[in-house]
A and B are shown apart, each in its own frame.
Chain A
Amino acid sequence: MTEMLNGSGKILLILAGLLVSLLFLRLPLGDTASKFRYITSIYADDKGLGLKQPEGVACSGESLLIVADSGNGRLLRYTFKDGAVEIGTVEMKPDQLSYPIKTEFDSRGEIYVFDRKQRSIVRFSPAGAFRGYLKPAGLPSPATFVPRSFTIDRNDNIYILDILSERVLKLDPEGRYVRQIKFPQEYGFFSDVAVDFKGTVLLIDGVHGMVFSAEKNSASFSRLTSSLKEYVRFPASLTTDERGRIYLVDRNGGSIIILGQDGSFIGRQSGMGWKEGSLNYPAQMCINNKGEVFIADTRNHRIQIFAVVE
């Protein structure tokens, strides 16, 4: 049969064969480029009170969203389903919260919030009831710490970025000390921490535009990337998706940089601007298991929602 094919036909046949082999043998295809498709934005609560400089947004598998509406000193809970934000926003404005800037869910739906003014992590029940401040138990010397950020892994372990004692603290879900990873010798300033699905801890150094990583159980950080200043101005926040891709939020540059698990550059999405789809001084980003992306677009006073399109 191959004798009947002309030159280009043979090439097509070979390419098709290769593609089938890759799919069946699950050979690595490499990271394909992803794009963000704009879906919608959240501008206000149900009563019409506009968001004010929101810096945090967390998303759960159950379509729940928690927004840290920093300028208004409150949390807002939304439901995002079938590409739309449902009516029925819940406002949480407890006395224990002053200036929320980052928020996360754990697997039980509990809400963790980082308060910048108090420099402490506050716990709330899924319904928004105050559960207390996170007070790590059994910390080794030095027992003092100043959190700059935090994250929660799949097993509900809590990781605190401690800029005072230059380390990442790992706590169990009850807040008991598990271990610590010291900062590397040379760095500029770490502003956020993330943990991927393999348990690798990631740090972003905004000053040098570098990502550092420590594999699960590793006692030290090493450089995952060289300086990314070619692509970013001042990355201040990072997160990962289910496949281990790393998303850097470029605060000053108003864009999202996508990296592979190995730190390789995959792409850059969005850009500085005011219109929907553009970002102005973005802060936290969250991506759920449906590939929906939520970004706290701080200086545009809104949360923007995108879908990742391969």
Chain B
Amino acid sequence: MKIKNINLGYVTLFSVCLMSFLTFAAPVHSKNEFKLKLGAKGQICLKCHETLKKTLKSRFVHPLLKKGECIGCHVPHTSSHKSLLNEDRAKLCYNCHKEVLPENARSSHDVVVEGNCKTCHDSHGSNNRFILSKSGNELCLDCHKDMSADVRKVRFKHKSLENRKGCLNCHDPHASAKSSFLLESQAPTLCLKCHKTDKASFAKKHMNYPVKNADCTSCHNPHGSNNRGIIFDVAHAAVTEGKCTECHQKPTSLKTKKKTTQLCRECHKDMVDQTFNKNRVHWPLVDKVGCVNCHDPHATKEQKLLKGSIVNVCGRCHADTVELQEWSIKNPKNDRLCEPVKKGNCITCHSPHAADNVLLITQKSVTNDLCGRCHEWETHSTHPIGAKIIDNRNKNLTVECLTCHQACGTGNKPAMLTFSNTYELCLQCHVERRT
């Protein structure tokens, strides 16, 4: 066999190389890479970095600093990274703390993904657990200011928010493998950790309906509200009055008495009938989900029981239009952006349920009746406009506001114009002026 021909010298050389590799490829902290004096390590650093002596007296100190292993994170002489770190700050912590960001996490905290661990943690030590820079909810609410205002002003608070763990009772500050919003688990599993459904008081409060498997957040605001039972501030009257049987069958199941729009029509008859009498009903109203496509039947934060802000609800299907609107808001050239566009108030011009006009526009005439409600179009400085002015390009079109402007936003074009400059716009019709 060929093996007989192998030179023993090569075998020895290979073995030596392999042994050397195994020896020297050991983790960086297990060898004296920088040839420091015995026992020196962090002690030498502290001679100059005196503030760290104070940090060392903190209740919670990073284990590497505690052991005096400054070289676990820093290079003593030179580094390409700030603070003489031995790696980019965004990656450094992950060398040891990989577990904070599970692979394929369903939700993750932006600062964690970006590696901005210092936003919450002091890298050396602090008097707060997990070397956090602040304690309790204060840390979270420092950034989540909107939530902070809401949580503080509500009349009825969620008790778990007020105990020591605070936000961390429900949220994982780093990431959640299974749930949205960094939740440890989704409702109702999460809620049932504290709230026992077999208690008589629980059953009574829920009118004996089998809500054990229901989504608690379809009625309750986990951050507190001004309604008893932390029911969302905007609640369906039937919910606040405990009249579940208005819509649901007897408390043996959660089944509704009728389906979708037919159920809502039981109370909102005039509105539903008027809607269905229009030429163009908004299609989601007549699909399997009906009204509940946009409205929450129980309680929400938004007016009219909407499932989110108007622009968010519309944007779930009409993302392409909302993208234009968002782009227009960010565009510095668009200083004359229409107010409803700026505020994302789509229903100023569109009827969300039904209309007789294309695009579900609320008014028959765009110029006179729609834009004219806010803009004095008759005083438009330069151009004849109105039902008697025929568009040069098409005898079936008259010159109206939408001849030049696009009402939902035009991205990076100024003054909500359809074209990027007035020259290009005007030449659409006035071709004889082309130079």
A-side residues, CB < 8 A to B, are 43-44, 50-53, 71, 98-99, 116-117, 119, 146, 148, 163-166, 188-189, 191, 206-207, 229, 233-234, 252-253, 274-276, 281, 298-302
Determine whether the beta carbon of B317 is less than 8 Å from that of A43.
Answer: no
- Of A53, A166, A191, A274, the residue contacting B283 (CB under 8 A) is A191
Q: Measured between alpha carbons, how far is A253 from B323 in the docked complex, in Å?
A: 13
Say whether, besides A117-B279, A252-B320, A275-B393, A163 and B286 are in contact (CB < 8 Å). Answer: yes
- Shortest Cβ distance from A142 into B: residue: B259
Q: Measured between alpha carbons, how far is A274 from B284 in the docked complex, in Å?
A: 30
Determine whether the beta carbon of B396 is less than 8 Å from that of A300.
Answer: yes
- 22 inter-chain pairs at a CB distance below 8 angstroms, sorted by A residue, are A43-B396, A44-B396, A50-B396, A51-B396, A98-B279, A99-B280, A116-B279, A117-B280, A119-B281, A119-B286, A148-B283, A164-B286, A166-B288, A189-B283, A189-B287, A189-B317, A252-B321, A253-B320, A274-B394, A299-B358, A302-B394, A302-B396
Determine whether the beta carbon of A234 is less than 8 Å from that of B359.
Answer: no
Determine whether the beta carbon of B393 is less than 8 Å from that of A281.
Answer: no
- Shortest Cβ distance from A189 into B: residue: B317
Determine whether the beta carbon of B391 is less than 8 Å from that of A274.
Answer: yes
Determine whether the beta carbon of A274 is less than 8 Å from that of B428.
Answer: yes
Say whether, besides A281-B358, A298-B358, A146 and B279 are in contact (CB < 8 Å). Answer: no
B-side residues, CB < 8 A to A, are 278-281, 283-284, 286-288, 316-321, 358-359, 391, 393-397, 403, 428
Determine whether the beta carbon of A117 is less than 8 Å from that of B278.
Answer: yes
- Shortest Cβ distance from B260 into A: residue: A164
Determine whether the beta carbon of A53 is less than 8 Å from that of B317.
Answer: no
Q: Measured between alpha carbons, how far is A288 from B395 in the docked complex, in Å?
A: 27
Q: Measured between alpha carbons, how far is A166 from B394 in the docked complex, in Å?
A: 40
Determine whether the beta carbon of B288 is less than 8 Å from that of A163.
Answer: yes
Residues of A within 8 A of B394 (CB): 43, 274-276, 300-302
Q: Measured between alpha carbons, how far is A252 from B406 in the docked complex, in Å?
A: 12
Residues of A within 8 A of B284 (CB): 189
Determine whether the beta carbon of A188 is less than 8 Å from that of B317.
Answer: yes
- Shortest Cβ distance from A51 into B: residue: B396
- Shortest C-beta distance, A149 to chain B (Å), equals 10
Determine whether the beta carbon of B320 is less than 8 Å from that of A234.
Answer: yes
Residues of B within 8 A of A229 (CB): 320
Q: Measured between alpha carbons, how far is A43 from B359 in the docked complex, in Å?
A: 21
Q: Measured between alpha carbons, how far is A71 from B318 in the docked complex, in Å?
A: 24
Residues of B within 8 A of A148 (CB): 283, 287
Say whether, besides A275-B428, A281-B359, A163 and B283 are in contact (CB < 8 Å). Answer: yes
- Shortest Cβ distance from A146 into B: residue: B286
Q: Measured between alpha carbons, how far is A50 from B387 in the docked complex, in Å?
A: 14
Q: Is the interface of A mostly helix, strand, loop or mixed?
A: loop
Determine whether the beta carbon of A146 is less than 8 Å from that of B396.
Answer: no
- Shortest C-beta distance, A258 to chain B (Å), equals 20
Residues of B within 8 A of A234 (CB): 318, 320-321
Interface-centre pick from B281, B394, B397 (highest chain A CB count, 10 A) = B394
Determine whether the beta carbon of B288 is less than 8 Å from that of A164.
Answer: yes
Determine whether the beta carbon of A146 is less than 8 Å from that of B287.
Answer: yes
Interface-centre pick from A71, A117, A281 (highest chain B CB count, 10 A) = A117
Determine whether the beta carbon of B280 is less than 8 Å from that of A116.
Answer: yes
Residues of B within 8 A of A165 (CB): 288
Interface-centre pick from A51, A234, A253 (highest chain B CB count, 10 A) = A234
Sample of 15 more A-B contacts, CB < 8 Å, known A281-B358, A300-B397: A43-B394, A50-B396, A146-B286, A148-B283, A148-B287, A163-B287, A165-B288, A189-B283, A189-B317, A207-B317, A274-B403, A276-B393, A276-B394, A298-B358, A300-B396
Say whether, besides A116-B279, A189-B283, A189-B317, A43 and B395 are in contact (CB < 8 Å). Answer: yes
- Shortest C-beta distance, A53 to chain B (Å), equals 5
Q: Measured between alpha carbons, how far is A188 from B403 in the docked complex, in Å?
A: 31
Residues of B within 8 A of A99 (CB): 279-280
Q: Measured between alpha carbons, how far is A109 from B391 in the docked complex, in Å?
A: 37
| Leading 10 A-B pairs by shortest Cβ distance | A301-B396, A233-B320, A163-B287, A99-B279, A50-B396, A274-B393, A146-B286, A207-B317, A117-B279, A53-B358
Q: Measured between alpha carbons, how far is A302 from B358 in the docked complex, in Å?
A: 15
Residues of B within 8 A of A298 (CB): 358
Q: Measured between alpha carbons, how far is A164 from B262 in the docked complex, in Å?
A: 12
Determine whether the beta carbon of A301 is less than 8 Å from that of B397.
Answer: yes
Residues of A within 8 A of B428 (CB): 274-275
Q: Measured between alpha carbons, how far is A78 from B188 in the docked complex, in Å?
A: 61
Residues of A within 8 A of B288 (CB): 163-166
- Of B279, B281, B287, B317, the residue contacting A164 (CB under 8 A) is B287
Residues of A within 8 A of B321 (CB): 233-234, 252
Residues of B within 8 A of A51 (CB): 396
- Shortest C-beta distance, B149 to chain A (Å), equals 34
Residues of B within 8 A of A206 (CB): 317
- Shortest Cβ distance from B418 into A: residue: A272
Q: Measured between alpha carbons, how far is A302 from B288 in the docked complex, in Å?
A: 34
Q: Measured between alpha carbons, how far is A164 from B293 in the docked complex, in Å?
A: 13
- Shortest Cβ distance from B279 into A: residue: A99
Residues of B within 8 A of A233 (CB): 320-321
